[in-house]
Structure 1
Amino acid sequence: MSLSPQWLDELRSRISLSGVIGRSVRVQKAGREFKACCPFHNEKTPSFTINDDKGFYHCFGCGAHGDVIRWMTDHQGLPFMDAVKELAAQAGMDVPAPDPRAAQRAEQHKSLHDVMAAAQAYFVDSLHGPGGAAARSYLASRGFPASIVREFGFGYAPNDRQGMKAALSAFPEAMLIEAGLRIVVEGKDPYDRFRDRLMLPILDARGRVIAFGGRILSAEKTDAPKYLNSPDTPLFDKGRTVYNLHRAGPPARHSGRIVVVEGYMDVVALAAAGIAEAVAPLGTALTEHQIERLWRVTECPTLCFDGDSAGQRAAMRAVVRALPMLMPGHSLRIVTLPQGMDPDDVVKRQGPQAMEALLGEARSLVDVLWEAERDAAPLATPEDKAGLKARLLAHCETIRHPDIKALYRSELTRRFGDLAYARPERPPFQPQQRKAAPRSGGKGQPWKPAPPPLAQEDSQRLRNVGLGISPAPLRALLVALIERPDLIAAHAEALAGIHTEDAALAATLDALLAIAANGGSLESGRIKTILAERRIDAPTLASLGSLRYGLIGDSGVDGDALAGAIILLVEIPMVDEALAEANRRYQAELTPETEAEKERLLQRRLALLARLGQMGRARLSL
Structure 2
Amino acid sequence: MSLPPGFLDELRNRTSMAQVAGRKVLWDNRKSNQGKGDMWGPCPFHHEKTASFHVDDKKGYYYCFGCQAKGDAISFVRETENVGFMEAVEILAQEAGMEMPKQDPRAQQKADRQTQLAEVMEQAVQFFRLQLQRGVAEEARRYLDRRGLDARALERFEIGFAPGGWENLREGLKAKGVPVDLMLAAGLVKQSDKGREPYDVFRNRIMFPIRDGRGRAIAFGGRAMDPNDNAKYLNSPETELFDKSRNLYNLRPAREASGKGQALVVAEGYMDVIALSEAGFGASVAPLGTAVTEPQLQMMWRISDEPIIALDGDKAGLRAAYRVIDLALPLLEAGKGLRFAIMPEGKDPDDLLRAEGPDAVKKVLDEAMPMVQLLWRQETEGKVFDSPERKAALDKVLRARIAKIQDQSLRRHYGDDIKDMRFQLFRGQRGGGQGGQRKPGSWQRRDWRAPPPPSAGAKSSLLVAGGEEAEFQLREAVVLAAILSAPEIAVEFEAQLDAMPCLDPQSGLIRDMILRSIGNEAAMRDRVEDAIGREALESLFKARHVSVVPCIRRPGDAELSRMTVAEELAKMDAHQGWQAELSEAEEDLEDLADEAVTWRLAQAAQARAQAGRISDEDDTDFDVGPNGAHMDKSERSAFDSLLSQIRFDKQRR
Q: 1:161 aligns with which of 130, 147, 166?
A: 166
2:283 is equivalent to residue 281 of structure 1: no
> 1:474: which partner in 2?
484
2:104 is equivalent to residue 92 of structure 1: no
C-alpha separation in 2, matches of 1:457 and 1:545: 26
Q: 1:172 aligns with which of 172, 179, 183?
A: 179
Alignment deviations for residues 162-189 of structure 1 (CA, whole Å, 9 cap, x no partner): 1112221222111111111111232243
CA RMSD of aligned residues (A): 5.2
1:48-447 alignment, distance < 5 Å: 52=55, 54=57, 56=59, 67=61, 88-89=78-79, 92-96=82-86, 99-169=104-174, 170-187=177-194, 188-219=196-227, 222-255=228-261, 257-375=263-381, 377-379=383-385, 381-413=387-419, 415-416=421-422, 419=425, 424-425=430-431
- Give 1:209 shift: 0.8
C-alpha separation in 2, matches of 1:495 and 1:402: 28
- Give 1:401 shift: 2.2
Letter in 2 for 1:92: N
- Give 1:201 shift: 0.7
Give the TM-score of the pair, scaled to structure 2.
0.62
CA 1:338/1:12 → structure 2, altered by over 3 Å: closer, same or farther? closer
CA 1:506/1:244 → structure 2, altered by over 3 Å: closer, same or farther? same
Letter in 1 for 2:132: L
CA 1:106/1:93 → structure 2, altered by over 3 Å: closer, same or farther? farther
CA 1:248/1:143 → structure 2, altered by over 3 Å: closer, same or farther? same
CA 1:389/1:218 → structure 2, altered by over 3 Å: closer, same or farther? same
Task: State the SS of the aligned residue for 2:209.
Answer: strand
C-alpha separation in 2, matches of 1:492 and 1:327: 32
C-alpha separation in 2, matches of 1:96 and 1:312: 45
Alignment deviations for residues 280-337 of structure 1 (CA, whole Å, 9 cap, x no partner): 1111111111111111122111112222221221111111111111111222111221
Size of the alignment, in residue pairs? 493
Native 8 Å contact 1:157 1:196 kept in 2: yes
Native 8 Å contact 1:11 1:93 kept in 2: no
Return the index of the structure with the highest Cα Rg: 2
Letter in 2 for 1:198: I
- Give 1:274 shift: 1.6
CA 1:410/1:450 → structure 2, altered by over 3 Å: closer, same or farther? same
Native 8 Å contact 1:205 1:245 kept in 2: yes
1:562-577 alignment, distance < 5 Å: none
CA 1:86/1:343 → structure 2, altered by over 3 Å: closer, same or farther? closer
Letter in 2 for 1:216: A
C-alpha separation in 2, matches of 1:157 and 1:228: 12
Native 8 Å contact 1:11 1:91 kept in 2: no
- Give 1:202 shift: 0.7
Task: State the SS of the aligned residue for 1:338.
Answer: strand
Letter in 2 for 1:208: R
Alignment deviations for residues 555-592 of structure 1 (CA, whole Å, 9 cap, x no partner): xxxxxx75x678799x89x99xxx9xxxxxxxxxxxx9
Native 8 Å contact 2:21 2:76 kept in 1: no
Native 8 Å contact 2:482 2:565 kept in 1: no
> 1:597: which partner in 2?
none
C-alpha separation in 1, matches of 2:208 and 2:260: 26
Gaps of 5+ in 2: 41-51, 88-102, 434-438, 440-454, 499-509, 525-551, 577-586, 588-607, 613-624, 643-653
Give the TM-score of the pair, scaled to structure 1.
0.65
- Give 1:2 shift: 3.4
Q: Which has the higher helix share?
A: 2
Native 8 Å contact 2:487 2:521 kept in 1: no
- Give 1:261 shift: 1.0
Letter in 1 for 2:188: L
C-alpha separation in 1, matches of 2:469 and 2:180: 92
